[in-house]
């Protein structure tokens, strides 16, 4: 089980698990995506504010105040993958994993080329030290 389940409608998932007395509530945390929390969730929704507010999980926030994990990028990736849903849902596991791997590698190559063209260094990780 993961420690965190981040989803744009996590408060709905949390409510369902709470109604069914699911034991997952004791071991998994349910923050919503930070963008969705700021833009789409009501301040009056007590369950969402108390149990799904991403700001209530300091372990997900870096020292500089940025998010440790960019859940908005995951949302964007899921939207992109949704374009392949009709193809992927009909595949067996081996072909599914192969196609998904190929799609992601090709998308990463295109993104890396675009970033390099814009003067970025996508392969550079500051302060990376080899332990050899």
Write the pLDDT tens digit of every residue in 54-70. Answer: 888 888 888 888 888 88
Beta carbons within 10 angstroms of residue 127's beta carbon: 4
Structure tokens at 43: 């301040």
In the chain, where the domains are located = 10-60, 83-117
Write the pLDDT tens digit of every residue in 107-131. Answer: 889 989 998 999 888 877 777 665 5
Q: Is 4 helix (H, G, I), strand (E, B) or coil?
A: strand
CA-wise closest residue to 52 among 75, 73, 29, 83: 29
Q: What pTM was computed for the model?
A: 0.62
State how far the Cα of 30 lies from the Cα of 60, in Å rounded to an integer: 12
| Phi, psi (deg, nearest 5) at residue 129 | -120, 135
Phi-psi region of 63 (alpha: psi -120 to 50; beta: other; left: phi over 0): alpha
State how far the Cα of 14 lies from the Cα of 5, in Å rounded to an integer: 10
State how far the Cα of 28 lies from the Cα of 52, in Å rounded to an integer: 11
């Amino acid at each position: 089980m993961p420690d965190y389940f981040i989803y744009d409608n996590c408060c709905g998932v949390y409510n369902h698990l709470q109604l069914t007395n699911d034991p997952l509530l004791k071991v998994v945390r349910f923050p919503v995506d930070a963008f969705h929390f700021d833009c789409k969730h009501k301040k009056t929704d007590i369950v969402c504010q108390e149990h799904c507010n991403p700001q209530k999980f300091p372990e997900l926030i870096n020292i500089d105040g940025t998010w440790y994990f960019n859940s908005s990028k995951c949302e964007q990736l899921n939207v992109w993958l949704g374009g392949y849903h009709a193809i992927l849902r009909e595949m067996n596991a081996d072909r599914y994993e192969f196609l998904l791997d190929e799609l992601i590698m090709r998308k990463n190559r295109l993104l890396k080329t675009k970033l390099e063209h814009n003067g970025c260094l996508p392969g550079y990780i500051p302060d990376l030290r080899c332990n050899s």
